[in-house]
C-alpha cells in the first residue's frame, strides 16, 4: 500500500468543500427550474413511475417511501416521509403536489400518522404541471446511486413552481427561504416578461404584488401583508423582511342579564404562515399570567373542521360603551407581543446550473423561461423525430400497396423473412425499416379503405412536420406555446388570492397603538412631584362631601394643579420661569390614588428642570389650526396671546414668555380670537374682556397689563370663555368702575342654559354665577365683584363651565372630591355661595378641574 503525503489544511479544505457542495446541491437547495429539492423530485417521479395518477386509487405512503428509498434516495425513511407529508399539506404548499388520505398533521404541529396508515397519490396539478412532458425526452436522466436505475435531473415544469410553492432549507453555510405566490399572478408575471424582456422588477410587481400564503380561506383573503419596503427589497435584491399579520376581529357578546353592557372578545381566525396555533394560544396565556398582557380574562381554542377560531375574552369593556377602544389596544398588544404578527424573512437562494445564487423576481422568471424554452424545443424535436419516422414508414406502406401483387410474389418467392426483406429492398427501393413494416402488415391493411387512411395519415404527418419545423425555427412561436400552456394551467388550477395586501400600513406599531387612550388626571405638587391616574378612581359625590385622598403629600408639600388629559395627548409643561417643554401624557408614570408621585426630573424631557423644580401650568396640545392661540398670564398680571403653531414641535425646551425680574408664569390657556378671557383675584373680583384686545405677540414678548388689583390682592385664576358659549352681554356701557353692592339681589337664581362662572374659595364655599352678569370691559380695568367673601376667606379658583359637566376639587392636602357642577347653586354676584367641600382642619382648596364629557370617555 502506497502512502501519499498530503498537507492537512489542504485536505481538510477540499474534503469539507466537497461535503458542503454535496449537501447544497444534493439535499438542501431547490433548483430554479422546477423548484424542487432532490427528495421532492424523487418522490414525484417514483409516484409517477408507480402509476399513482389522480384518477387511480390511493396507495400506502409506506409503499412510496420504500420505492424512493430503494431506487433513488438512500437516506432515512423519516426524511422522505416528512417531505411527502409536506407536499400534501394545504397549509404548507400553495398548490399541494400530493393528495393525501388520512392524518397528515395540523396547524397545531400535530405529527402525521405513521406512513403505514396514510395513503397518497399525485394531485392533478402535479401531473399537469410537473410530469406531463416527462415522456418526450425533455430532460436529462442520470444514473441513481447504485447505477441500477435512471432518474431525471429535473422535472419539466410548465409554470415557475419555485415561486408558486416557495421553498425553505438550510445547507452548509447557506440557507434559503422563498415565500409562496398565487399561481395566476405568477403566470401573469411570466407573460409580462415574455411580452417585454426589458421589464423592470417594479413593473413585474404590478402583476405579482406580494407573496400569497396558503393560510386564508378560498373565498376571501384573511392573512394580511402590511406592505412596506420589505417586499420591494425581496423582489429587487432577493432579500427582505415582510410583515405578515393574521386575521383577527373584535366581536361583541352580551355580558348577561345583570350587566347591560357589551363585553367584546377578540376572535382570531387565521395565523401567519407557518405559525403554530397551539404555541400561539400557550404564549397568550403565559403573557397574561406574567401580566405582560392585561385586559384578558380567558383564551381558548374553539377551532373545528370548519376552520380556526381562537377566542380571547376581555376582562373589561374598555374605553367606550362597546369596549372597542380597550379591545383594539389588546389586539395591538397581541400583534406586538405574539406571533399574530410576525416577519417573514425572504432569502431567495436557488440552484442555477448547479450553483447557489441569490435571485430577484425577474431572475426567477428569466431562468425558468430559458428552461421552459429548452423543454419546448426538446419536445418538438422528439415529436419531429417520431413524425419523421412514421412518415417514412407510411411512405413505404403506400409504395408497397401501389404494386401489391408484385410484393406478394416477391415475398412468396423468398426463402425466409430476412431474404424477403432484402428482396423487397432491392425490388422496390425500400429501407430496412420500411421493408420490415411491409412484412408486418396484417391482411386487413391491404383493403382500399386502409390505403385511404394511410394517405390521410401521410398528409397529416406532412402538416405536423411543417408545424414542428416552424416551431423550431421561430423563437416567438416557442414563447407563444409557453404562454398558451401556462395560461391553460392557470385557468384550470388557479384560484383567488388568499393573502390581502394593505399598502397603507408599515406594520410597525407605535407606543400609542398598545396604550389605551383613556382620560387621566395629571397631579403635580409644589415640591415638584407629578403623577398620572385614571379619572374613574374618583366616583361622583354629593356637594359638601369630604372627598377621597388623591395624593399622599410629603411634609411641607401641597397640590399645585390638576389637569385633565387623554393618555395619547402631547402635553405642554410650562415652568414658572417661562420655559415650555413637551412629552406624551402616557410618559408620566401612572400611580395609585394615594401615591405621592414621581419627581418631575425623572420624566424626560423634564430632566433638565433641576431638583425641586415646579410646573406652573400644563396644557394638552391636541389638534390646532392657525386660528388657535395660547393666552399666558403671569403672577404680576401681565398677559399675552401667542400663536399656538409656535409650540407645535417642541424639541427639548423653548422660551414661552420673557419675564421681568421677580415675575413668574402662572396660567396658560388655549383660545381663538373670538373668545373671551376671565381673570379673578383673591378678593373675589372678576374681569372679562375679549382676547381680541390682546395683540398677537411672539414667544419672547413680555405681555400687557391685564387687571388692576386692589391692595393686598393677587391673581388666583384665569379661564377662557369659548366663542360658541359666549353669553349675552349685560346691559350698560363698558366701564372699569366697580358698581355698588346690590344687597337686594336674590341669593339663588333659577337654572338656565346660559354658561356660568364657577367660583370656589379657599374655605370650600362655591357658587355658579351666570356669565351675563359679567359684561366685557377694557383690558387693564378693575373688574367687578364676583363673590362676597367671609372674613379670613379668599377666592381660590375660577372656571367657565356648562351645566352637564363635573368638577374635581383638589385641596392643598391632596384630598379630591368629584362633584356634578349642576349640584352647586346658581347665585348672583353678591352671594357668598354654598359649602361645596367639607375640608379638614388646616386644609384649603387648591384647584378645581372641569371634567368635560367631550374629553372623558
Q: Which residue carries 399561481 as its cell?
A: 183
Q: What is the DSSP letter of 743?
A: T
| Burial tier of 706 (Cβ tally within 10 Å: 0-12, 13-18, 19+) | buried
Confidence of residue 347 (pLDDT cuts 50, 70, 90): very high
Cβ atoms within 10 Å, residue 117: 13
Distance CA 811, CA 839 (A): 8
> For 471-498, what is the HEC assignment?
HHHCHHHHHHHHHHHHHHHHHHHCCCCC
What does the pLDDT read at residue 610? 54
Instruction: Pinpoint the residues of the chain covered by CATH 3.30.1360.40.
Output: 247-339
Residue 9's CB is within 10 A of a number of other CB atoms, namely 8
Angle at 93 between CA 499 and CA 501, to 5 degrees: 10
Structure-block grid coordinates of residue 345: 424573512
As a residue count, the chain comes to 857
Query: How far is Cα 10 from Cα 216, in angstroms, rounded to an integer?
Result: 52
C-alpha cell belonging to residue 745:
339681589
| Whether pLDDT at 321 is above 50 | no
55-69, 184-198, 527-541: segment of lowest average pLDDT: 527-541
- 6, 102 contact by CB (below 8 A): no
pLDDT reported for residue 201: 94
- Tracing cell 423519516 back to the chain, one arrives at 78
The backbone torsions φ and ψ at residue 583, rounded to the nearest 5 degrees and listed phi first, read -160, 165
Confidence band for 650, pLDDT divided at 50, 70 and 90: confident
Judged by average pLDDT, the poorest of 57-61, 346-350, 456-460, 812-816 is 812-816
Find all residues with CB under 8 Å of 149, minimum gap 6, and list them.
Answer: 71, 72, 143
Question: What is the average pLDDT across 767-780?
Answer: 88
Q: What is the mean pLDDT of residues 630-642?
A: 93
Could you count the other beta carbons within 10 Å of the beta carbon of residue 766? 29
**According to the model, what pLDDT value does residue 505 have?**
55
Start-to-end Cα distance in the chain: 91
Tell me the three cell numbers of residue 544: 359638601
- Residue 741 in this model has a pLDDT that exceeds 70: no
Checking if the pLDDT of 771 tops 70, the result is: yes
Nearest to 189 by CA among 14, 18, 397, 364: 364
Q: Is 503 exposed, middle or buried (0-12, 13-18, 19+ CB in 10 A)?
A: exposed
**CATH 1.10.268.10 placement within the chain:** 375-485
In 359-493, which residue ranges form alpha helices assigned H by DSSP?
361-402, 404-413, 417-428, 432-439, 448-473, 475-493
Listed residue (609, 666, 598, 591) closest to 636, CA to CA: 666
Q: Quote the pLDDT of residue 731.
A: 40
CATH number among 3.40.220.10, 3.90.199.10, 1.10.3720.10, 3.30.1330.20, domain 16-181: 3.90.199.10
Cell of 100: 393525501
Residue-level pLDDT at 734: 45
pLDDT tens string 385-412: 999 999 999 998 888 888 888 888 888 8
Q: Classify residue 265 as left (phi > 0), alpha (psi -120 to 50) or beta.
A: beta
- Over range 572-601, report the average pLDDT: 80
Mean pLDDT (whole number) for 428-433:
89
What is the distance between the alpha carbons of residues 399 and 851, in angstroms, rounded to a whole number? Answer: 109
The pLDDT of residue 262: 53
Helix (H), strand (E) counts: the chain:
17, 42
**What's the helix, strand, coil split of the chain in %, to 5?**
30, 25, 40
pLDDT greater at residue 723 or residue 233? 233
Q: Given this model, what pLDDT does residue 312 score?
A: 92
C-alpha cell at 530: 407629578
Residue 608's pLDDT band, with cuts at 50, 70 and 90, is low
Best mean pLDDT range from 145-159, 423-437, 519-533: 145-159
Pick the catalytic residue from 117, 335, 529, 586: 117
Q: Going by C-beta distance under 8 Å and a sequence separation of 6 or more, which residues neighbour residue 481?
A: 376, 471
Query: Alpha carbon 209 to chain centroid distance?
Result: 16
Q: Residues 812-845, buried b or exposed e (16+ Cβ, 10 A)?
A: bbbbbbbbbbbebbbbbbbbbbbebbebeeebbb
pLDDT at 34 over 70: yes
Q: How far is the C-alpha of 769 from the C-alpha of 719, rounded, in Å?
A: 14
3-state class (DSSP) for residue 279: helix
Stretch(es) of the chain classified as CATH 2.120.10.90: 517-739+747-851
Report the distance separating Cα 208 and Cα 206, nearest Å: 6
pLDDT confidence tier of residue 316, bands split at 50, 70 and 90: low
Burial label for 444, CB within 10 Å (0-12, 13-18, 19+), is: exposed
Above 80 in pLDDT, residue 322? no
Question: Topology of 247-339 in CATH?
Answer: Gyrase A; domain 2 (3.30.1360)
In Å, what is the CA distance from 458 to each residue of 265, 438, 461?
Answer: 74, 16, 5
Span 721-742, mean pLDDT?
A: 53
Considering only 21-30, 123-132, 306-315, 663-672, which range has the smallest mean pLDDT? 21-30
At residue 411, the pLDDT reads 87
Q: Is 117 a catalytic residue?
A: yes
Provide the sign of the torsion angle of the four alpha carbons 508, 513, 515, 521, taken in this order. Answer: positive
Highest mean pLDDT among 9-18, 97-106, 795-804: 97-106
Is the pLDDT reported for residue 76 higher than 80?
yes
Of the ranges 132-141, 162-171, 278-287, 503-512, which one carries the lowest mean pLDDT score? 503-512
Report the distance separating Cα 700 and Cα 786, nearest Å. Answer: 33
In this structure, are strands 540-541 and 815-820 parallel, antiparallel, or unpaired? parallel
Long-range contacts (CB closer than 8 Å, 24 or more residues apart) made by 293-298:
293/330, 293/333, 293/334, 293/337, 294/330, 295/326, 295/329, 295/330, 296/330
Edge-to-edge strand list for the sheet holding 570-574: 617-620, 570-574, 579-584, 653-655
Sign of the dihedral through C-alpha 815, 816, 822, 826: positive
Work out the burial of residue 807: count CB atoms within 10 Å of its CB; fewer than 13 is exposed, 13-18 middle, 19 or more buried. Answer: buried
What integer pLDDT is reported at residue 603 of this predicted model? 64
Report pLDDT for 154: 95
Cβ–Cβ contacts within 10 Å for residue 412, how many?
Answer: 8
Residue 556 exposed, middle or buried by CB count within 10 Å (0-12, 13-18, 19+): exposed
pLDDT confidence band for 98 (50 / 70 / 90): very high
How far is it, in rounded angstroms, from Cα 371 to Cα 176?
A: 21
Specify the pLDDT at position 509: 59
Task: Round to whole Å and give the CA distance between 777 and 758.
Answer: 19
CB-CB contact of 231 with 238 (8 Å): no
Nearest to 248 by CA among 226, 214, 222, 216: 222
User: What backbone phi and psi angles, to 5 degrees, belong to 819?
Assistant: -135, 140
Lookup: cell for 446: 391491404
Q: The domain 517-739+747-851: what is its CATH number?
A: 2.120.10.90
Residue identified by cell 404680576 is 636
Q: How confident is the model at residue 257 (pLDDT cuts 50, 70, 90)?
A: very low
In the predicted model, is pLDDT for residue 317 greater than 50? no
Tell me how crowded residue 264 is: count the other CB atoms within 10 A of its CB: 27
| Position 131 pLDDT exceeds 90 | yes
Range from 128-142, 208-222, 796-810 carrying the lowest mean pLDDT: 208-222
Q: Indicate the pLDDT class of residue 219, thresholds 50, 70 and 90.
A: very low
Could you give the dihedral angle defined by the CA atoms of residues 130, 132, 137 and 140, in that order, rounded to the nearest 10 degrees? Answer: 10
The pLDDT of residue 612: 53
Instruction: Compute the C-alpha angle 482/488/489, nearest 5°.
Output: 90
The pLDDT score that the predictor gives to residue 857 is 40
Please determine, for residue 55, whether its predicted confidence score (pLDDT) is greater than 90: yes
Q: Among candidates 667, 712, 696, 679, which has minimal Cα distance to 780? A: 679
Place of cell 402662572: 666
CA distances from 263 to 257, 288, 309, 469, 519 (A): 12, 18, 18, 73, 20
CATH number of 375-485: 1.10.268.10
C-alpha cell at 350: 436557488
How large is the average pLDDT for residues 802-815? 80
- In terms of average pLDDT, the best of 89-103, 288-302, 720-734 is 89-103
Output the average pLDDT for the chain. Answer: 84
Q: pLDDT tens digit string along 781-792?
A: 989 999 999 888
3-state DSSP call for residue 319?
Answer: coil
Q: What is d(CA 297, CA 302) in angstroms, rounded to the nearest whole number?
A: 16
**What distance in Å separates the CA atoms of residue 394 and residue 385, rounded to the nearest whole number?**
14
Amino acid at each position: 500500500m502506497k502512502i501519499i503525503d498530503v498537507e492537512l489544511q489542504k485536505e481538510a479544505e477540499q474534503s469539507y468543500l466537497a461535503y458542503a457542495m454535496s449537501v447544497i446541491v444534493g439535499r438542501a437547495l431547490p433548483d430554479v427550474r422546477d423548484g424542487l429539492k432532490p427528495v421532492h423530485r424523487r418522490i414525484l417521479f417514483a409516484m409517477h413511475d408507480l402509476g399513482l395518477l389522480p384518477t387511480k386509487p390511493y396507495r400506502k405512503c409506506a409503499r412510496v417511501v420504500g420505492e424512493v428509498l430503494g431506487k433513488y434516495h438512500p437516506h432515512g425513511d423519516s426524511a422522505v416521509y416528512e417531505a411527502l407529508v409536506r407536499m400534501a399539506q394545504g397549509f404548507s404548499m400553495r398548490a399541494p403536489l400530493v393528495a393525501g388520505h388520512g392524518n397528515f398533521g395540523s396547524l397545531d404541529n400535530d405529527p402525521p400518522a405513521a406512513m403505514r396508515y396514510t395513503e397518497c397519490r399525485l394531485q392533478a396539478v402535479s401531473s399537469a404541471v410537473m410530469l406531463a412532458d416527462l415522456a418526450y425526452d425533455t430532460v436529462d436522466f442520470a444514473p441513481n446511486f447504485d447505477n441500477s436505475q435512471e432518474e431525471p435531473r429535473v422535472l419539466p415544469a410548465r409554470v415557475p413552481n419555485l415561486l408558486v410553492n416557495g421553498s425553505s432549507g438550510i445547507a452548509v453555510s447557506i440557507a434559503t427561504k422563498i415565500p409562496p405566490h398565487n399561481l395566476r399572478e405568477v403566470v401573469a408575471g411570466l407573460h409580462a416578461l415574455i411580452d417585454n424582456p426589458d421589464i423592470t422588477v417594479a413593473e413585474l410587481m404590478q402583476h405579482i404584488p406580494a407573496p400569497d400564503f396558503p393560510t386564508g380561506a378560498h373565498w376571501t383573503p384573511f392573512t394580511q401583508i402590511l406592505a412596506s419596503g420589505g417586499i420591494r427589497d425581496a423582489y429587487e435584491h432577493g432579500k427582505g423582511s415582510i410583515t405578515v399579520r393574521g386575521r383577527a376581529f373584535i366581536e361583541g357578546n352580551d355580558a348577561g342579564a345583570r350587566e347591560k353592557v357589551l363585553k367584546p372578545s377578540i376572535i382570531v381566525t387565521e395565523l401567519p404562515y407557518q405559525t403554530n396555533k397551539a404555541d400561539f394560544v400557550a404564549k397568550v396565556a403565559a403573557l397574561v399570567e406574567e401580566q405582560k398582557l392585561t385586559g384578558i380574562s380567558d383564551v381558548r381554542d374553539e377551532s373545528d373542521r370548519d376552520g380556526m377560531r381562537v377566542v380571547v375574552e376581555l376582562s373589561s369593556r374598555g374605553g367606550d360603551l362597546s369596549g372597542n377602544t380597550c379591545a383594539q389596544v389588546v389586539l395591538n398588544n397581541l400583534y406586538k407581543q405574539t406571533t399574530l404578527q410576525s416577519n417573514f424573512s425572504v432569502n431567495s437562494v436557488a440552484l442555477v446550473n448547479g450553483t447557489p445564487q441569490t435571485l430577484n423576481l425577474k431572475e426567477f422568471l428569466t431562468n425558468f423561461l430559458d428552461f421552459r424554452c429548452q423543454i419546448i424545443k426538446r419536445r418538438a424535436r422528439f415529436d419531429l423525430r417520431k413524425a419523421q419516422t412514421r412518415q417514412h414508414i407510411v411512405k413505404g406502406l403506400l409504395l408497397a400497396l401501389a404494386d401489391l401483387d408484385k410484393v406478394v410474389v416477391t415475398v412468396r418467392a423468398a426463402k425466409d423473412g430476412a431474404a424477403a426483406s432484402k428482396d423487397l429492398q432491392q425490388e422496390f427501393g425500400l429501407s430496412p425499416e420500411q421493408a420490415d413494416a411491409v412484412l408486418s402488415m396484417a391482411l386487413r391493411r391491404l383493403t382500399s379503405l386502409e390505403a385511404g387512411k394511410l394517405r390521410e395519415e401521410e398528409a397529416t404527418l406532412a402538416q405536423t412536420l411543417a408545424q414542428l419545423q416552424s416551431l423550431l425555427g421561430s423563437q416567438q412561436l416557442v414563447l407563444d406555446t409557453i404562454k398558451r400552456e401556462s395560461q391553460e394551467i392557470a385557468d384550470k388550477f388557479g384560484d383567488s388570492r388568499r393573502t390581502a395586501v394593505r399598502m397603507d400600513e408599515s406594520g410597525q406599531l407605535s407606543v400609542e397603538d398598545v396604550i389605551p387612550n383613556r382620560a387621566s388626571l395629571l397631579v403635580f405638587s409644589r415640591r415638584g412631584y407629578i403623577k398620572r391616574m385614571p379619572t374613574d378612581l374618583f366616583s361622583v359625590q354629593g356637594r359638601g362631601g369630604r372627598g377621597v385622598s388623591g395624593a399622599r403629600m410629603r411634609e411641607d408639600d401641597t397640590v399645585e394643579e390638576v389637569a385633565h388629559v387623554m393618555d395619547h395627548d402631547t402635553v405642554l409643561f410650562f415652568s414658572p420661569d417661562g420655559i415650555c417643554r413637551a412629552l406624551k401624557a402616557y410618559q408620566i408614570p401612572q400611580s395609585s390614588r394615594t401615591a405621592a408621585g414621581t419627581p418631575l426630573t425623572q420624566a424626560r424631557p423634564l430632566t433638565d428642570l433641576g431638583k425641586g423644580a415646579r410646573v406652573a401650568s400644563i396644557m394638552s396640545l391636541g389638534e390646532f389650526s392657525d386660528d388657535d392661540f395660547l393666552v399666558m398670564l403671569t403672577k404680576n398680571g401681565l398677559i399675552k396671546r401667542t400663536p399656538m403653531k409656535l409650540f407645535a414641535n417642541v424639541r427639548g425646551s423653548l422660551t414661552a414668555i420673557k419675564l421681568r425680574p421677580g415675575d413668574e408664569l402662572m396660567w396658560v390657556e388655549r383660545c381663538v380670537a373670538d373668545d373671551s378671557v376671565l381673570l379673578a383675584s383673591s378678593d373675589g373680583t372678576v374681569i372679562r374682556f375679549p382676547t381680541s384686545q390682546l395683540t398677537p405677540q411672539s414667544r419672547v414678548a413680555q405681555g400687557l397689563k391685564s387687571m388692576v388689583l386692589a391692595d393686598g390682592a393677587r391673581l388666583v385664576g384665569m379661564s377662557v370663555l369659548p366663542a360658541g358659549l359666549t353669553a349675552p352681554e349685560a346691559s350698560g356701557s363698558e366701564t372699569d368702575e366697580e358698581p355698588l353692592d346690590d344687597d337686594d339681589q336674590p341669593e339663588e337664581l333659577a337654572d338656565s342654559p346660559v354658561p356660568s362662572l364657577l367660583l370656589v374659595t379657599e374655605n370650600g364655599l362655591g357658587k355658579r354665577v351666570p356669565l351675563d352678569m359679567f359684561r366685557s370691559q377694557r383690558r387693564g380695568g378693575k373688574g367687578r365683584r364676583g363673590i362676597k367673601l367671609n372674613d379670613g376667606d379668599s377666592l381660590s379658583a375660577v372656571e367657565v363651565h356648562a351645566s352637564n359637566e363635573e368638577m374635581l376639587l383638589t385641596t392643598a392636602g391632596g384630598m379630591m372630591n368629584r362633584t356634578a357642577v349642576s349640584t352647586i347653586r346658581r347665585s348672583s354676584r353678591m352671594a357668598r355661595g354654598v359649602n361645596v367641600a367639607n375640608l379638614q382642619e388646616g386644609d384649603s382648596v387648591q384647584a378645581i378641574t372641569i371634567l368635560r364629557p367631550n374629553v372623558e370617555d
